[in-house]
Chain A
Amino acid sequence: MLSAQERAHIAQVWDLIAGHEASFGAELLLRLFTVYPSTKVYFRHLGDQPDEVQLLSHGQRMLQAVGVAVQYMDNLHAVLSPLADLHAQVLRVDPTNFPGPSHRPLLRQLVVLASHLQGEYTVEMQAAWDKFLTGVAVVLTEKYR
């Protein structure tokens, strides 16, 4: 459950990302592939060494989905249901890749946020986004079994 303050922090951070989904998303994917090369197995359709155009395009798509989740953060089940189906039936990304304190982070967004927002990335924002992304991950992997 997200408190009113947490929701405000989440929306506040999203305002800084909105309009820049492509570049944030591309950096997110670049960091993901650089730090965890094994995650590339889920992106074979982007080729062995995805280029900038592909990263921007796919990154934008991912971050736009996050934007939708932010908009409907009180009803993630409904809004993420099609994506949950996709991840369960088609993509079948191992659940350990999803964000959660102990999970390998598929959405290592927090590092991207931290490196861009720097001084503005308060601990309250970090806590709210960590919790929010964990909630998104739970919904995305909910239909796996």
Chain B
Amino acid sequence: SLSASESFPMSQLFVKVDEVGAEALGRLLVVYPWTQRFFEHFGDLSSADAVLGNAKVKAHGKKVLDSFSNGVQHLDDLKGTFAELSELHCDKLHVDPENFRLLGNVLVIVLARHFGKEFTPELQAEFQKVVAGVASALAHRYH
């Protein structure tokens, strides 16, 4: 399990950068274009610029990251914290849990972009453990 002390540097990452969620979702949709299947109602996704500039993508990205950072505050009970969202992603949104891992990987790259050398190997390791934990929690209620 993940300790509270491990989450301290990570919450710093979220406080510092607002646009991380928007950029992570945008890059996911560009780098792995098949993920656009969940966002056809978002309007223009026809080019990288269109995706990254899309207001709905940005808003949704922020929402996703807010939820993720909430998870960071509850590392002792990720499955409980994400139980409802897990059911939602299974029953209503029909999202393959593989996509949670994909988004997590893109998030790591976006953080590395923003924080450069500050995103040390150790911080990356801690963060990736959280990403794996959140992805697993989101997949937990699938049936």
- Is the A/B pair a real complex? yes
Interface residues of A (CB under 8 A from B): 27, 30-31, 34-35, 101-102, 105, 110-112, 114-119, 121, 123-124, 126-127, 130
Chain A to chain B: the 8 pairs with minimum beta-carbon distance, closest first = A34-B121, A114-B112, A115-B112, A114-B113, A35-B125, A127-B31, A31-B121, A114-B109
A101 and B32 in contact, given A115-B119, A123-B48 (Cβ under 8 angstroms) = yes
Confirm or deny: B101 has a beta carbon within 8 angstroms of a beta carbon on chain A: yes
With A111-B108, A111-B109 as given contacts, are A31 and B124 in contact (CB-CB < 8 Å)?
yes
Tell me the bound Cα distance from A99 to B116 in angstroms. Answer: 22
**Residue B36 at the chain A interface, CB threshold 8 Å:** no
B: which residues have CB within 8 A of A? 26-27, 30-32, 48, 52, 98, 101-102, 105, 108-110, 112-117, 119, 121-122, 124-125, 128
Which secondary structure dominates where chain A touches chain B? helix
Q: Shortest CB–CB separation between residue B17 and chain A, in angstroms? A: 12
Contacts A111-B109, A111-B119 given; 11 further ones with Cβ under 8 A?
A34-B124, A34-B125, A35-B125, A101-B105, A102-B98, A111-B108, A117-B113, A121-B113, A123-B27, A123-B52, A126-B27
- The residue of chain A having its C-beta at the shortest distance from the C-beta of B114 within the complex is A118
What separation, in Å, do the CA atoms of A101 and B101 have in the docked complex? Answer: 9
- Alpha-carbon distance between A83 and B48 when the two chains are bound, in angstroms: 34
